[in-house]
């Protein structure tokens, strides 16, 4: 059976939220009927894209016109790059980041320019000065910053973000917050950023924190200058009405998600403790639902294979930026107990 679809394997390799969505989402799905399945939305008659964009606008305190909806944040990322980047134009992004950034730039024959994240003890950090000087040299059309970043897990500090956006007024700045929620649920910065910088786009998704990756719900809060993108992304026949029902139900269940986050943060700490006790290993501090782990030279492939034999799939890196590294998604408490047992077995059998 294909490894990606085996029901017996525990997949901790794609940063999915294995707690799933709030029970309220399943209840909401049971209310879906002919209106949502067979009939287009008429929300445009009220001058809005969807009940979802309306709700997000109210929560984020951003005008509805500046909330753009998409099929996952992957789709919004593709839309913005296809809308603004032409052949030979540059996209500036971290060298240690989601591989898809470079792929989407290459789709429009754009050129990717990368800046490194720096290691500082048990965490990765962005170097704002370095990014600004690269920006001045390269004049990119689009700058991409992920906070928290995948796979390093670190966030971009607020003060640096303001410095950067100030310096990058000639370009479009994409702040990818796909992993928002796992450290805290603050939203205040969005209205401030979007109000102050007309060229910023904050990308969000319901895939990670809200556990709705399969429903493909993404959105962006866009600065007032990005009108071309707003037109490009508008959909005459409306948004996916089933996804809209699910996302609205998730937004109505904050207590459920806050409790989930607490459990996940505890389990993330348990992984830090496990690897901190292993000389030669580093478990990088993360604000997301995954951790990047560096193990002693030569042991990442054996550990990956050992976990695979125990029925657990984690991500093994073969990129040069991440030698001896694995990325592990934080699953449910039960999943993490199973993972820690398998990790302890690996140590007991003399492998580490
Ligand atoms: C950094 C980052 N941004 C965006 C996404 C896209 O997620 P989605 O399209 O499900 O919203 C991912 C997916 O893993 C990601 O790692």
16 within ligand 1 shell (Cβ under 6 A): no
Q: In 10 A of CB 72, how many CB atoms?
A: 21
Q: What is the pLDDT of residues 71-117, one digit of tens each?
A: 999 999 999 999 999 999 999 999 999 999 999 999 999 999 999 99
Which residues fall within 8 angstroms of residue 96, CB to CB, at 6 or more apart? 116, 117, 124, 149, 151, 152, 321, 322
Q: Which atom from ligand 1 is nearest to the alpha carbon of 77?
A: 4
pLDDT at 5: 53
Distance 211 CA to ligand 1 centre (A): 12
* Listed residue (321, 333, 265, 332) closest to 294, CA to CA: 321
Distance 126 CA to ligand 1 centre (A): 20
What is the distance between the alpha carbons of residues 20 and 22, in angstroms, rounded to a whole number? 7
Dihedral (C-alpha) 86, 130, 148, 325: value to the nearest 10 degrees? 100
* Listed residue (326, 329, 308) closest to 317, CA to CA: 326
Of the residues 96, 100, 201, 217, which should be mutated to test ligand 1's pocket, given the most ligand atoms within 8 Å of the CB? 100
pLDDT tier for residue 2 given thresholds of 50, 70 and 90: very low
**With the C-alpha atoms ordered 84, 88, 89, 93, is the resulting torsion angle positive or negative?**
positive
Distance 79 CA to ligand 1 centre (A): 14
pLDDT at 122 over 60: yes
pLDDT at 304 over 60: yes
* Listed residue (253, 275, 266, 252) closest to 326, CA to CA: 275
Average pLDDT over residues 185-190: 92
Of the residues 15, 17, 74, 315, which should be mutated to test ligand 1's pocket, given the most ligand atoms within 8 Å of the CB? 74
Strands 312-316 and 325-329: antiparallel
Distance 73 CA to ligand 1 centre (A): 6
Q: Which helix (H) or strand (E) holds 25?
A: helix 23-30
pLDDT at 108: 97
Distance 100 CA to ligand 1 centre (A): 9
177 within ligand 1 shell (Cβ under 6 A): no
329 within ligand 1 shell (Cβ under 6 A): no
Q: What 3-state DSSP class applies to 344?
A: helix
- Give the predicted TM-score (pTM) of the model: 0.95
Phi, psi of 91 (to 5 degrees): -120, 125
* Listed residue (22, 4, 25, 41) closest to 236, CA to CA: 41
Least confident of 6-20, 139-153, 204-218: 6-20
Mean pLDDT taken over the chain: 94
70 within ligand 1 shell (Cβ under 6 A): no
pLDDT at 3 over 70: no
Q: What 3-state DSSP class applies to 24?
A: helix
Distance 178 CA to ligand 1 centre (A): 6
Q: What is the pLDDT of residues 222-252, one digit of tens each?
A: 999 999 999 999 988 999 999 999 999 999 9
96 within ligand 1 shell (Cβ under 6 A): no
pLDDT at 47 over 50: yes
Scored b (16 or more CB within 10 A) or e, 281-320 reads: bbbbbbbbbbbbbbbeeebbeebbebbeebebbbbbbeee
Average pLDDT over residues 39-46: 93
Domains of the chain are: 10-21+254-348 (3.90.1150.10), 23-251 (3.40.640.10)
97 within ligand 1 shell (Cβ under 6 A): no
Distance 36 CA to ligand 1 centre (A): 26
Facing residues of 142 across strands?
A: 91, 172
Give percent of the chain with pLDDT exceeding 70: 97
Distance 350 CA to ligand 1 centre (A): 37
Of the residues 77, 145, 178, 246, which should be mutated to test ligand 1's pocket, given the most ligand atoms within 8 Å of the CB? 178
Q: Which atom from ligand 1 is nearest to the alpha carbon of 97?
A: 1
Nearest CA to ligand 1 atom 12: 178
* Listed residue (308, 276, 342, 345) closest to 13, CA to CA: 308
**With the C-alpha atoms ordered 331, 334, 336, 342, is the resulting torsion angle positive or negative?**
negative
Distance 34 CA to ligand 1 centre (A): 31
């Amino acid at each position: 059976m294909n490894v990606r679809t085996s029901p017996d394997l525990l997949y901790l390799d794609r940063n999915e939220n294995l707690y799933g969505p709030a029970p309220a989402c399943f209840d909401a799905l049971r209310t879906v009927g002919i209106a949502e399945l067979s009939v287009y939305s008429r929300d445009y008659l009220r001058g809005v894209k969807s009940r979802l964009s309306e709700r997000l606008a109210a929560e984020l305190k951003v005008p509805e016109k500046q909330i753009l909806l998409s099929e996952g944040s992957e789709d919004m990322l593709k839309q913005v790059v296809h809308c603004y980047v032409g052949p030979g134009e540059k996209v500036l992004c971290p060298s240690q980041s989601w591989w898809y950034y470079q792929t989407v730039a290459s789709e429009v024959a754009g050129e990717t320019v990368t800046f490194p994240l720096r290691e500082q003890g048990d965490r990765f950090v962005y170097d704002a000065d370095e990014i600004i000087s690269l920006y001045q040299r390269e004049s990119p059309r689009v700058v991409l910053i992920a906070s928290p970043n995948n796979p390093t897990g670190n966030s971009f500090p607020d003060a640096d973000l303001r410095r950067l956006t100030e310096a990058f007024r000639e370009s479009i700045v994409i702040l990818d917050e796909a992993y928002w929620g796992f450290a805290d649920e603050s939203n205040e910065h969005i209205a401030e950023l979007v109000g102050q910088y007309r060229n910023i786009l904050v990308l969000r998704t319901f895939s990670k924190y809200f556990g709705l990756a399969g429903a493909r719900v993404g959105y962006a809060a866009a600065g007032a200058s990005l009108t071309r993108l707003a037109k490009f992304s508008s959909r005459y026949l409306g948004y996916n009405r089933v996804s809209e029902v699910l996302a609205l139900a998730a937004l109505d269940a904050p207590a459920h998600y806050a409790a989930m986050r607490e459990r996940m943060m505890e389990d993330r700490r348990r992984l830090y403790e496990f690897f901190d006790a292993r000389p030669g290993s580093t478990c990088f501090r993360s604000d997301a639902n995954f951790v990047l782990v560096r193990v002693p030279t030569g042991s990442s492939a054996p550990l990956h294979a050992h976990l695979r034999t125990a029925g657990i799939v984690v991500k093994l890196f073969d990129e040069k930026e991440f030698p001896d590294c694995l990325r592990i998604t934080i699953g449910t408490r039960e999943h993490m107990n199973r993972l820690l047992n398998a990790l302890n077995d690996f140590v007991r059998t003399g492998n580490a």
